[in-house]
Structure 1
């Protein structure tokens, strides 16, 4: 049986993977797919791919594109979630900040350098007309738990994370939500190490086919909103709102989307040059 290691964040977007693993959908095809949670997010997974700790990852689009351009020997095989990720801009409830404008020149708490929280701080800065050189500073807090502990104690001034995952901490008044910053591109992709794609493309293609069958009908599964609410500690109405805004994908990134992502990363000085799509995408 082929053994494949996959990584992803322990968040509601990835529930389709849990369902297919629970149902032994991969085992039935002779694939021993093992899931590993990466609460530290995209930066942590990029390192795991480079270190060959995992074979594939469900990962933020901009972070994966940037890391491939910067030498990570992987390719994107498909978009996983095609709608934007809605990043909430949060401060500690005990802070004096009352608007996103107040955050200019303060310290963004990020999970790690190269992570989505790091890259999106640049997008947010550009959206607000800030100077990235002088108006951005960072404090590394590793993950959401690190922000919950650190922000009220002054370790970072604001924290950008997926809005619905942080909603319980807004509800319990750990955080206050000052604004939102949607990604200007599809939010999650499936990426695979090049050596794995070369050695066993059939297994990767089969894994993608199986997850696509589940995501096509995911929102129609009876009681899926209640399952998500219970599993991830969310309010049912928040889950229903999130489901209404979220669309999974069974397609590859388009040339236009890839061009847009690389142009934005280049503009923000997060990459030094662009790659041809053949170096970034793998099509079965």
Structure 2
């Protein structure tokens, strides 16, 4: 009997449809939490510790692009679209720190979970939007990058001086604004849909019309059912989020108004990958020209071939 597939995920509110897929729709895989985010899942995929990852678009594309530039195989490709809406990254500092806005961040220490994670990548995007990346320092952030691994350590870091600021998803951060632990100084939205599904190369099948193995196909269909359950059972979703995750009931309800999951998670739009590559190249995250199409294990145009 083949070993059960392993899915890496971030244990935040966005994971609720995955929970429903597992509890209500016989998800043929085990769920392994990665609270430190997408960068950690990249490492786990490449180490063979997980087979599938559900994480942030910018983290996956950055890792795939860097592997291309180094003429290496990243070990995985993008096979699905999980969330259609962009992500709002809140920018936070310590409760007592004398930093009052984004304009004061140049030259400061930026806390990130891991180099290559979404929190790292979006720092470069912020710097580009602020005009801090000139042609003479392409790929070099105008602040020191301080890896702190987890959200809890990031919050501690901006209060004890290890870092001056960090970026994390808005609703995940909000509870800690409300209790006074950290202070919000700004926000930035991703210019792309926020969450994608990737799979290890072993789950891709060039001989299959849908480009993936039957095992991966079954996982993606179960996630589709989890999304449909989420949309049809909003009260159950709210209760799960505020009971099992680190959110208030009010914040869970507010988040539901902002998020839109993919109606069919199978496949990725090439245009989204191209947009992400374009922005990450401009921001200096990707230093060489890379081919967005080569990052896709399955395009949405191929998903319609499934029976």
Displaced runs of 4 or more, over 4 A: none
Give the CA deviation at 1:276. Answer: 4.5
Separation in structure 2 between the aligned mates of residue 276 and residue 41 of structure 1, nearest angstrom = 22
The aligned counterpart of 1:70 is: 66
Is the contact between residue 9 and residue 15 of structure 2 (CA under 8 Å) also seen in structure 1?
yes
CA RMSD of aligned residues (A): 1.8
Q: How does 1:121-270 map to 2 (within 5 A)?
A: 121-131=123-133, 133=140, 135-198=142-205, 201-223=213-235, 224-249=237-262, 250-251=264-265, 252-270=267-285
Separation in structure 2 between the aligned mates of residue 162 and residue 170 of structure 1, nearest angstrom = 12
- Three-state SS of the structure 1 residue aligned to 2:204 is helix
Give the CA deviation at 1:121. Answer: 0.5
Q: How does 1:108-119 map to 2 (within 5 A)?
A: 108-119=110-121
Q: Classify 1:127/1:106 alpha carbon distance in 2 versus 1 (closer, same or farther; 3 Å).
A: same
The aligned counterpart of 1:50 is: 46
Q: Which runs of 5+ in 1 are unaligned?
A: none
The aligned counterpart of 2:37 is: 41
Residue by residue, what CA displacement relative to the aligned partner does 1:81-129 show, whole Å, maximum 9, x if unpaired?
1101110000000101111111121111000100000000011111222
Residue by residue, what CA displacement relative to the aligned partner does 1:148-205 show, whole Å, maximum 9, x if unpaired?
2221100100010011011111111111011111111011101001122239711111
Give the CA deviation at 1:214. Answer: 2.1
Is the contact between residue 109 and residue 140 of structure 1 (CA under 8 Å) also seen in structure 2?
yes
Separation in structure 2 between the aligned mates of residue 186 and residue 209 of structure 1, nearest angstrom = 20
Q: Which runs of 5+ in 2 are unaligned?
A: 68-73, 207-211
Is the contact between residue 74 and residue 280 of structure 1 (CA under 8 Å) also seen in structure 2?
no
- Three-state SS of the structure 1 residue aligned to 2:44 is helix
Give the CA deviation at 1:134. Answer: 6.0
- Three-state SS of the structure 2 residue aligned to 1:198 is coil
- Three-state SS of the structure 2 residue aligned to 1:79 is strand
Counterpart pick for 1:83 among 71, 82, 85: 85
The aligned counterpart of 1:13 is: 14
Q: Classify 1:134/1:18 alpha carbon distance in 2 versus 1 (closer, same or farther; 3 Å).
A: closer
**Relative to structure 2, which stretch is displaced further, 196-205 or 117-126?**
196-205
Separation in structure 2 between the aligned mates of residue 43 and residue 276 of structure 1, nearest angstrom = 19
- Three-state SS of the structure 1 residue aligned to 2:114 is coil
Is the contact between residue 66 and residue 265 of structure 1 (CA under 8 Å) also seen in structure 2?
yes
Give the paired residue count: 279
Separation in structure 2 between the aligned mates of residue 254 and residue 220 of structure 1, nearest angstrom = 26
Q: Name the TM-score, length of structure 2 as normaliser.
A: 0.86
Separation in structure 2 between the aligned mates of residue 274 and residue 134 of structure 1, nearest angstrom = 21
Give the CA deviation at 1:253. Answer: 2.7
